[in-house]
Structure formats: structure tokens, C-alpha cells
Amino acid sequence: MPNKSQQIALVLSRVSANFEDGKERVLVLKDMSFSVPAGSFVSVVGPSGAGKSTLMRVILGLMPHTSGDIVRNFSRPAMVFQNYALFPWLTALNNVAFGLRMAGMRKTEARKTAKKKLEEVGLGHLENHYPAALSGGQRQRVGLARALAISPDLLIMDEPFSNLDTITAESLKADLLKIWRSYGITILMVNHLIPDAVEFSDQIIVMVAHPGHIKSIIPIDLPRPRDTRSAQFFKEVDLLTEATRAIS
Amino acid sequence: MAGVIGAVLLLTFSGYFGEVAWLTLCDAVLRTTYRLAIAYGIALVLGALMALVVGWSPFSDILFPFFDILQNLPSFALIPFFIYFFGFTSNMIILFAVSSIIWPILFAILTAIKSAHKDLSDAATIFGAKGWRRIPYYLAPLSFPAMLTGSIVGIAIGWEAVIGAEIITNVAGFGDFIKEAGASGISQALVAGTLVILIIVFVINRLVWAPLLTESSKRYAE
């Protein structure tokens, strides 16, 4: 990404976090250290229970960490959720406008911007539909538009494709890469599909469970746009599959 | 319902209701309905506010069991307290009804807030519904379906509370009317009164709750 490689969007150093389960404290994240360069695409992979989602909540400040430091060089984070998390009482358009309205933008202006974002993800014609009337793929597009509407400087995506069928997911992935390139935003994505992580990422963080910590951080230096059928691509996927196999 | 209406018409034309004091009955029903409406309004505002504040605060886990105990107090056991403080008045009946109606509303909303998916709550926070804004932009619309079902249950309990209190205290109203009718052996008045209440309940359900429920299930369906 142009000229942004010097800046760092996010730094974690030796970050740990606990879950309070009644009286018991369970360590869920242990000594997490990594950094995310501004404008880069970083994926987090690992088995379920490795604390990937918890990590995202800690980064966003939705959950406290117990020790370590987090440097947040971003001011407008946005998130895309695995189960969409759209507000069922709002139409697609008003879901997208939600963040803008909360930021104090006037209604007509917010709706105009939201409409543009909906069109950008190909759903301009469904603006008045409620989430219940949308398919999974459409809901996730609304979720993406809602996130992009606030012009985020960090976009966190928690397994955004895992509730979608393959065909829907593929088209959304292509759009996401396009959006990432044109916006130049920093993206941190939790993923469980290694080929996807290799296709998107500049850097892949491999996590292990009990307690969740980093096993390895693997840079992916393949040229973009990436050819998912090249020998190098398969080599990277193999390497990463090996790295995750050893832990499960 | 068509059957009920048919029966009413048949009874009316056959002169069955000849002895019924219709004006007195209408007056009684209006008084009771008015009390219920006021009590429901107060219970809705109070119950929703309490649920939102408690659901929003970090103390909800502590307060939940406390409310549960309060809710389980048999409401008619409290009537002497209400009489002691407010006398044999219409306001006493209204406040007593509030004490019954409020619980289903409060619990329905509180449960809806507590059981909402964590992601939805996170989304509200991330996209800016923080602080006091959380109430109008997240918690209130989130708990709308619960408020509806809580209201329907609450009003059903409310009829019982208002009519029961009127029977106990002899304050003019539908409860007092049927008590008098029963005591003086005018069974036609009892039947007429019951039919009138039935019709009111039916009309409110059809005109108010049914459309709201349809709208709610359309929007909030998963």
C-alpha cells in the first residue's frame, strides 16, 4: 500500500486477558505480541477456542486486558461479524446509516452516504428491506457497507465468510479485496480457511489454544493480485497448513 | 367470536336482557377500562424504564433475583397496604393494578436485553450507541417485541387486578357491578357484563395487539 508502510496501526505487547467465569478466572489470551502496519491486511488463524474473537474484542476495547500494552493508532474502528449482527429493527439503509447518525451526521446526509455504500456493495435496490428479508450473503454485504460507511481506519472482520455458501463467499471475497485496494484501510481478519488467509494477507498470525497465544507469525510476500493456482501459492498454503496441523 | 355475537343478538331480541341496567353497566365498564388504561400506561413507562436502566447498568445480575422475589409476592395480599395508604379510592385501584401489571413487562424487557446476542450489543457499541444513547437507539428497539408480549400478559393480569380490587373494595366499577348483580340474583346482568368485557378484550386484541404482533414478527424474525 502506498506510503503507509511506515506507520503502524496497532501494536500489542505481551497482552493477556482473562474471562471471569463466576468466581473462576480463566486465562484466554497469553502474552500476545504483534503489530499491524497501517494499510496492511493481517489474518489471524487458529483452532476454535484459541481466543481469536476475544482478541478482536480486546483490541476494540470491548473487553479489558489484564496485562500488557496496546497502542491503538486508529480512531474509527469498524467491525464485520460472523453472524452479521445487523439491527433487525432497521432497514438495510438505516443499518448502514447507523454509525453516521451516531456520529452526529444529519439524517438526510447520512442516508445519502449510506445509499452510496449500499450501491458500492451491490445492494442499492434493497435499501428498504429489513434484515430478515435478506439472504445471508446480502446481510453480510449490508454489514460490510455499515462498516465502510463510517470511513474506518481499522476494519476488523470476524470470520465474515464462514456462514456463507462457497459461491456467495467467493464473490464477496473478490469485492472485499477490491474495496481494500481502493480504500487503503487496515484490515484485521479472523479466518479459519488457510487458502483465504494466504490469498488476502500480508501477514498471518497463527494462534494456539489453552491458553490462546501466538504460535507463529508468517509474512506472505507473494505478489498481488495473487494467483491462487500458482505453485508458490500452494507452497505457502502447505507451509501454513503444516504450521497449524502441528498444533491441533 | 361470530358465535358470541350471534348469541348476544339472539338473547337481546328474545328479551333476555330486559332487566339489565345498561347505563349502569356501561358506566361501570368505562370506569374499569379507564383504570386499566391508566394503570397500564404507568406500568409500561415505569416497567420499561426500570428494565432499561437495570439492563444497562452493571448491577443487573444483583437486582434480577431481588425483582424476582418482589414479583412472586401474591398481589392481592398487598391490597390492605394499598387501602391503608390510599383509602377506598379509584387511585388506590389504579396503583394496585400497576403493582401487578408492571412485572411481566419488566421481566420480558429485562430478559430480552440480557439474552440479546453479544455481537449485536458489540455492534451497537462499535458503531457509536454508547452512554445514554444506548437506551433510545439500541435497548429500546431491541426490547420492542418483549414489550409487546409483556404488555399483553400484563393487561390480562390487569383486568383481574382492577376487577378483583373493585369487588373487594366496592369502589364503583365493573367488579362492583357484577358483585351487586350476583348478590341480588340478576343473572342476566352477570351474563351481559361478562359479554361486554369479552367484546372489549376482543376489540383491543384485534385493533391494537394483533397488528403490532404481525409487524414485530415481520421485522424481528431471524
Query: Which of chain B's residues have a Cβ under 8 Å away from the Cβ of A88?
Result: 219-222
Q: Is residue B186 part of a domain?
A: no
Fill in the amino acid letter for A192: H
Domain CATH code at residue B151 = 1.10.3720.10
8 Å CB contact of A79 and B123: yes
- For A127-176, what is each residue's pLDDT tens digit? 999 999 999 999 999 999 999 999 999 999 999 998 889 899 999 999 99
Q: Nine-digit cell at B197?
A: 368485557
pLDDT tens by residue, A91-111: 999 999 999 999 999 999 999
- Closest among A173, A126, A124, A180 to A154, alpha carbons compared: A180
Q: Please indicate, yes or no, if residue B188 is contained in any of the structural domains.
A: no
How many CB atoms neighbour CB A178 within 10 A?
Answer: 11
A98 half-sphere exposure, CB direction, 13 A CA radius:
32
Q: What is the pTM for the complete model shown? A: 0.85
pLDDT higher than 70, residue B57: yes
Instruction: Quick: pLDDT tens for B30-47.
Output: 999 999 999 999 999 999
| pLDDT tens digits, one per residue of B80-118 | 989 999 999 999 999 999 999 999 999 999 989 988 999
Record: contact B122-A130, CB cut-off 8 A: no
Comparison of pLDDT for A92 and A193, the residue scoring more: A92
Domains of chain A, by residue range, sit at: 8-75+185-248
For residue A200, give how far its alpha carbon lies from the nearest alpha carbon of chain B (Å).
24
Fold type of domain A8-75+185-248 = Rossmann fold (3.40.50)
Q: Which amino acid, residue A73?
A: N
Residue B44 lies in a domain: yes
Q: Percentage of residues in chain A with pLDDT exceeding 90?
A: 79
pLDDT band at A11 (very low <50, low <70, confident <90, very high): very high
Domain membership of residue B149 (yes or no) is yes
Residue B220 domain-assigned? no
Judge contact between A92 and A126, C-beta under 8 A: yes
Contacting residues for B38 by C-beta, under 8 A, at least 6 apart: B94
- Checking if the pLDDT of A2 tops 60, the result is no
Range of the domain at B71: 27-173
The span from the first CA to the last CA of chain A, in angstroms, equals: 34
Residues in Cβ contact with A174 at an 8 Å cutoff, skipping those fewer than 6 apart:
none
Within a domain: B35: yes
Decide if B193 is inside a domain.
Answer: no
- Place B162 in a pLDDT band, splitting at 50, 70 and 90: very high
Percent helix, strand, coil in chain A, to 5, is 40, 25, 35
Nearest to B122 among A62, A89, A150 (CB): A62
Query: Which residues does chain A have within 8 Å of residue B142's beta carbon, measured at their own beta carbons?
Result: 89
Chain B residues touching A60 at Cβ < 8 A: 122, 126
Ramachandran quadrant class, B101 (left: phi over 0; alpha: psi -120 to 50; beta: rest): alpha
Identify the pLDDT of residue A1.
46
Distance from the Cα of A201 to chain B's closest Cα (Å) equals: 24
B15: left (phi over 0), alpha (psi -120 to 50) or beta: left
Backbone φ and ψ for A158, nearest 5 degrees, come out as -100, 100
Q: How many domains does chain B have?
A: 1
Interface residue of A56, A76, A89, A100 to substitute, partner B, most B CBs within 10 Å: A89
Reported as a pLDDT band with limits 50, 70 and 90, residue B190 is: confident
Determine the pLDDT at residue B63: 80
Confidence band for B124, pLDDT divided at 50, 70 and 90? very high
Instruction: Output the CA torsion sign for B45, B46, B47, B49.
Output: positive
Q: Please check whether residue B200 lies inside any domain of the structure.
A: no
Is the model's pLDDT at A86 over the cut of 70? yes
Taking 50 as the threshold, does the pLDDT of residue A4 lie above it? no
- Rounded Cα distance between B31 and B44, Å, is 20
